[in-house]
Amino acid sequence: MRAIDRVWVADLTYVPTDEGFLYLAVVLDLASRRAVGWAMDETLEATLPLGALRMAIARRRPAPGLVHHSDRGSQYACGDYQRLLGAHGMIPSMSKRGDCYDNAVMESFFSTLEFELLMQNNWATRHAARIAISEYIETWYNRERRHSTLAYHSPAAYEREVLHAAA
């Protein structure tokens, strides 16, 4: 079993609504595939991924030395984001320039989200999309959805097994 809270991956995407795009930033634990933090906003400013990272830190309280991997987007390279990583002893890691496969786990998460939720719905408002996405992540994806990478366990079940094995 792989240890949790050793490597996090992060990225952002957009969600269409009748009001315009809602932007979603997510932080996943690489070992368990659990969405440990996320945030949504009407803009792609750095406050979006900062919100997701702050949620992840508050929920997980990772030990110093955690590797945080993202693409080279300005939101992740900016001073505020890098300072928050440093303040919590995280080691920043960024994709190679032009390598779209370097963050494949995040791309897989967004592909799953698109197939299982976004393609099935058309939201009139950003607020409605926020509610649906929050419920999807917290109720379905983290707690119920089985992953072949995790021997067909959900992220929550995988983490329980890791913690039980460590006890």
**Does 150 have pLDDT greater than 70?**
yes
Under DSSP, is residue 92 helix (H, G, I), strand (E, B) or coil? Answer: strand
Q: What are φ and ψ of residue 140, in 5° steps? A: -95, -60
What is the rounded average pLDDT of the residues 102-115? 91
Phi/psi-derived region of residue 144, left when phi > 0, alpha when psi is between -120 and 50, beta in every other case: alpha
Q: Are 22 and 34 in contact (CB under 8 A)?
A: no
**Does 100 have pLDDT greater than 60?**
no
Question: Predicted confidence band at 98 (pLDDT cuts at 50, 70, 90)?
Answer: low
Q: Are 145 and 154 in contact (CB under 8 A)?
A: yes
Please state the pTM of the whole predicted model.
0.94
For tokens 């983290």, the residue is 142
Helix axes 79-87, 47-60, angle to 10 degrees: 10
Distance CA 32, CA 163 (A): 12
Q: Are 42 and 24 in contact (CB under 8 A)?
A: no
The pLDDT value recorded for residue 40 is 98
List the Cα angle 31/6/84 in 5-degree steps. 125
Distance CA 81, CA 75 (A): 7
34-64 pLDDT tens trace: 999 999 999 999 999 999 999 999 999 999 9
**Centroid of chain to Cα 16:** 19
